[in-house]
């Protein structure tokens, strides 16, 4: 087991986008960072290497968050290698948009598996294993407030995640562990930009009074606050980070 006493953070879905920015930021903040991913080993390994080259500590770990055994194994490995877990960021997610009338069973099941069960699995392990004084941060979306057409399945699952967050915050009473949700607005990542015509991207860009899309670093800064010393009194909340769209 490692003798390094740095706090340990697991970030799910950290090979790119918001999760990658969170992994980089938590590395800078002094955490040993587990860069979780499901698909792209090369990107995740490259990110871990880049974080290490900046003098921080990072390790890539492949585990599909929808797979209960794989998630359990990831936590087992982290605890046996590092001795403890202090922060879990449940960031992994996919987004598939369609009107309810046109939504297929496959799309519904995929989003429930990755976004709902894929949040629940690491959340359950976090509830069991995060050290006293730790932080758990889930991911919702500002579409829970905006409720645009075609977002029904995605937004409903995110609303469920906000509900689980508030309940777990109460269940962990007495252990000085905070559980919060970050709900970004449109953020310039593959998940948001993929398959969107430029006209639609331009419309989203103008939605916020701050008149730009979110950047992964904007969201990483919010996670850093919640994971760090200044965030310790925020508990059971949903923090919308969206430039003011809702």
Q: Which is nearer to ligand NDP, 83 or 217 (CB)?
A: 217
Catalytic residue among 154, 157, 178, 231: 154
> How far apart are the C-alpha atoms of 45 and 41, rounded to whole Å?
6
> How far apart are the C-alpha atoms of 20 and 139, rounded to whole Å?
14
Given the rule CB under 6 A, which of 12-20, 103-111, 169-177, 223-231 is the region that contacts ligand NDP?
A: 12-20
Q: Is 154 a catalytic residue?
A: yes
With CB under 6 A as the contact rule, the residue among 111, 121, 180, 187 that binds ligand NDP is 187
With CB under 6 A as the contact rule, the residue among 8, 9, 11, 15 that binds ligand NDP is 15
CA distances from 157 to 118, 142, 151, 200, 239 (A): 11, 12, 10, 23, 17
Q: How far is the CB of 103 from ligand NDP (least distance, A)?
A: 17
Q: How far is the CB of 1 from ligand NDP (least distance, A)?
A: 25
How many CA atoms lie within 13 Å of 243's alpha carbon, on the beta-carbon side? 17
Q: How far is the CB of 18 from ligand NDP (least distance, A)?
A: 4
> How far apart are the C-alpha atoms of 73 and 144, rounded to whole Å?
32
With CB under 6 A as the contact rule, the residue among 27, 122, 134, 184 that binds ligand NDP is 184
Q: Which is nearer to ligand NDP, 129 or 196 (CB)?
A: 196
Q: Which is nearer to ligand NDP, 131 or 196 (CB)?
A: 196
Q: Whose CA is closest to 111, among 74, 156, 44?
A: 156
The alpha carbon of residue 230 and the mean position of all alpha carbons in its chain are separated, in whole angstroms, by 20
With CB under 6 A as the contact rule, the residue among 192, 207, 226, 243 that binds ligand NDP is 192
Positions 103 through 142 that interact with ligand NDP (CB under 6 A): 114, 118, 139, 141
Q: Whose CA is closest to 125, among 79, 161, 58, 167?
A: 79
Helix then strand then coil, % of the chain, to nearest 5: 50, 20, 35
Active site residues: 154
Residues that bind ligand NDP (CB under 6 A): 12-19, 36-40, 64-66, 91-95, 114, 118, 139, 141, 184, 186-187, 189-192
């Amino acid at each position: 087991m490692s003798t390094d006493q740095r706090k340990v953070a697991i970030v799910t879905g950290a090979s790119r986008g918001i999760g990658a920015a969170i992994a980089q930021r938590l590395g800078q903040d002094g955490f040993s960072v587990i860069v979780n991913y499901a698909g792209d080993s090369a990107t995740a390994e490259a990110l871990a290497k880049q974080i290490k080259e900046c003098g921080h500590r990072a390790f890539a770990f492949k585990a599909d968050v929808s797979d209960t055994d794989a998630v359990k194994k990831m936590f087992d490995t982290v605890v046996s290698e590092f001795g403890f877990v202090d922060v879990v960021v449940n960031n992994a997610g996919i987004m598939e948009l369609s009107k309810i009338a046109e939504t297929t069973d496959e799309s519904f099941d995929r989003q429930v598996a990755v976004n709902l069960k894929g949040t629940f699995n690491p959340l359950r392990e976090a509830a069991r294993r995060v050290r006293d004084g730790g932080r758990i941060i889930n991911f919702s979306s500002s579409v829970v407030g905006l409720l645009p057409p075609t977002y029904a399945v995605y937004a409903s699952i995110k609303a469920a995640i906000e509900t689980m967050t508030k309940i777990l915050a109460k269940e962990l009473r007495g252990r000085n562990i905070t559980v919060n949700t970050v709900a970004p607005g449109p953020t310039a990542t593959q998940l948001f930009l993929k398959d969107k015509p430029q006209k639609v991207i331009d419309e989203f860009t103008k939605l916020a009074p701050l008149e730009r899309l979110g950047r992964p670093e904007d969201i990483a800064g919010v996670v850093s606050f919640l994971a760090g010393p200044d965030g310790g009194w925020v508990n059971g909340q949903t923090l919308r980070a969206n430039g003011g769209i809702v």
